[in-house]
Chain A
Amino acid sequence: MTADREEAARRGSALAEGALGGDRRALARLLTAVENRTPVAEAALRRLHAEAGDAHLVGITGAPGAGKSTLVAALIGEVRASGRSVAVVAVDPSSPITGGAILGDRVRMQAYAADDGVFIRSMASRGHAGGLAAASVAAATVLDAAGFDLILLETVGTGQSEVEVAAAADTTVVLEAPEMGDEVQAIKAGLLEVADVVVVNKGDRPGAQRAAAELRAMLTATASPRLAGADPTATARTASGGPAAAPARPGPKRPEVLVTTATTGEGVPELLAAIERHRQGLGVEGGPAPVRRARAAALVWALLGDRVRRRLEDPALADVTAETLDAVVRHELDPYAAADRLLGALVGDAGRRPEGRDAGRQTSRG
């Protein structure tokens, strides 16, 4: 057990150092560990978190066939022309039945195989509820630490978890294509609510300009609620007056609507400029932007949940946990009291643990 942990820590830090030093194979292997959420990934991410934070994470989402991959390829070209490096994480759905997946986004991004300033990685969604956002944000953290300036995260905007991924980005671009029927697809999928920039792609098709005009009219009426609602800790903080360190939250903004033709590159420089403007508006460079705080909160809460559960299921507490749950089944204990009891057991147990240093310190202080 401990030997495994040490081996994972050793391998994790070796891969992290490799990735930081520009070793692309180490980077790729690390991304596999991150996807599989192994102890190696945890060890590496502990090392890499401090090195990350400079990259601009941009989510690109929209219906299948809207032209996301083609647009990503065009954006890569534009970003490279400006001398910056770019990494892509392209997520495709896994089959819920077999667990297999076809990851076909690279087909449109083949022009950059010889360019060391471009790194493209496909990922299957693997159906883990909520975990997809965590895995792709972790992948982005690794690529960020490895020095990529811009990270493009392509997801199909259909499932809830895919939308969450896009929404976790600093800037979320929602793609629409004019021929996709009368009703704008993004509205059906609830995507416009997470959009910072809306793109009508296939500008060479009839109806593109009209679709853009309709979207602009629609978005004038309803401003994006994203920044107001994204941080699950926001309400509690506001209710209690909030600590001084809480980041200022700018009011919701109306997303820009642009038209592109990904196949020819038309409108792509303007799109990149809009993405850049959005980042400047976020103030990512100045201090913690609300979207980044929301991302941090989501990651930490997810880990905390995992850890609490693991503690409650480990041998020291497994009996108490089982008895408590049984008491709820027998209706002798209500679920609220059960949660309180388990929380109490957890705190008591942490105090007794040699590695429960934080809890120990708190006890001695109080």
Chain B
Amino acid sequence: MALNMQRLGRMLPSLPVSRAFSTAAGPAATQATSPTPPSPPPPPPPSDTAEVFVDGQPITVPKSFTVIQACDAAGVDIPRFCYHQRLSIAGNCRMCLVEVEKSPKPVASCAMPVMPGQKIKTDTPLVKKAREGVMEFLLINHPLDCPICDQGGECDLQDQAMIFGSDKSRFVETKRAVDDKNLGPLVKTVMNRCIHCTRCVRFSSEVAGTEDLGVTGRGRDSEIGTYVEKLMQSELSGNVIDLCPVGALTSKPYAFTARSWELKSTESVDVSDALGSNIKVDARGSEVMRITPRLNEEVNEEWLSDKARFQYDGLKRQRLNTPMVKGPNGLQPATWGAAFEAIRGAMAGAKGDEIKAIAGKLTDAETLVATKDLLNRLGSGNMKHEDDVAAEPVCADVRSTYLANTTVMGFEQADAILLVGTNPRHESPVFNSRLRKAFLDGAEIASIGPNIDLTYKYQHLGSEPAALSQLLASEHPFLEKLKSASAPAIVIGPGVLRREDRDAVMRAVHELVDKAGVVRPGWNGFNVIHDSASRVAALDLGFVPSASARSAPPPKVVYLLGADDWMDREVPEDAFVIYQGHHGDKGATRANVVLPGAAYTEKSGLYVNFEGRVQQTRAAVPVLGDAREDWKIVRALSEVLGARLPYDTHSAVRARLAEVAPHFALINNLQQPVWLNGEVLQKDVPFQSPVNNFYMTDSVSRASAVMAKCILAKQEAKN
């Protein structure tokens, strides 16, 4: 029975059910409620569905549904603690009791499959009494510390106790006390509050794939923990904070800094990796207080990586808030005018390709296009992205060659996956959880690249490109596997694009793609993933060196757009360096002029994720001090330099973006690229992931004290 339930849990579709299945009230009802009626989805074949009655209202749902899902589909709220649509079914909190006709006792709706003709009652006195009873039991050992609990105001237990709780307790014994656990620098525990729903345990073993949480002991004495004190090993550990229905697991960095009702939420997009997880930036006044995930089935479901969630304290440190010009005493604060004058002076001595721009990891598309236009007006085509480190720049001609064509959600269908030169666990932990999902659904995974724990089992075919040649040359079992798979996929990591033999590796991969039929009608299994948020937009906009720039002399002026990871040979000793960005990192230290820009939480900007989805960030807090939105700085500078850019408003820049690449007009939509189809393979240079330190990859995370703590904690755990 338990096994069946688990399997059931995994089969649950991740679409919001109410939209996927129409109620039996028919199209008329649908029309009445929604102004633009989408054509009703074709009903699933009748043999797989069952008609049930929720409080008398008939509804048709798939037979695989549980009663709670049927109630959700019918729009009837069932209180719950342990049930979570993305985790297996535990059925241990009993809060979801409902009455089912002909069954003598109330039933736990989350663990009960629907039966045709079932009559479910959710508002009878029996149900109310049952829920009140459950609530009383749950509160027996729960401390009365809501006033000092960070979950207060957004706590499921608090909310439901308002409805089903009693105003006094009949319990006169001693409440139990449980040791708090130390799960590392991110998750704070107050284990007295735990109600043993085991959501966190199921999350860590099912989604995160790092089984370190468990229930030890039994009965009254059971507790959640790791048994032996240790760090939660996952890069997704912060998600247990959202999952915990009570205040047992809360955020350590956020602890006691704000109450949920004081916060203003802004829907935005994460830029700490190239997945573009959807986030909610919660701010109080001008300060970002926390970042939480936002549901997007196609991108991050409802998960968020620890870096994306906890690096926000970096937004308050090392910030550049005023223009600066280098004088005899180093960088000195200056006015915008003075800074622009200094730039004009330096630019006068440079012509054409002697002016170079390097885009950083966090640059938004607006700034990229403005900078590109500006440089072109100044006669230069010398521009690149800082991730483009190989001698030959990455070719931006064919969109499908640098995107994840399968799409993140598409990976759920994949049944054979080959990873080439990638460590998705660090490059994009949330994407890695999709791969794990595919693995749990039976996909076979193999990897040529670093041999590390990816949270799922995979065949390690080798660390060097030689393994790729072997795979191609012989009747390799995994090649056969790819060939016979119904939805094979290949994932190329960002490390490959940084290799000197990139083109040779890519050629080999393309050969493999052809040989194994990875791209077929209706299925494109060719994927490149990236690790920085601005990478795909830069390629989409052709922010690559022009033909003439490739043989240009060393630049005299270098314009760094928040770029901090350039190589020394790209910024000559005697070059005049302009740094436009928000953090005082490597780039600002080298700069002659610093132009303070806005961080991703302070501006509205477009980013393209590695599947080619255009998404926008929104300003949650005002920009800092004298800083300005980045595209505006470029626009203002263009005027000073006498190469005025023709756009004055944000919408005009967006229009220009759409002119350069039409898909920029389709925010949040995915434009499937068309699939179209030169070097020596460095056979024994091992594939490496560019992300060798997950917690610090860009200027924001490098400035974050919380991320530094994570690194320390991991190191300590290793020793």
Q: Do A and B interact?
A: no
Chain B residues within 8 Å of A, Cβ to Cβ: none
Chain A contact residues, CB within 8 Å of chain B: none
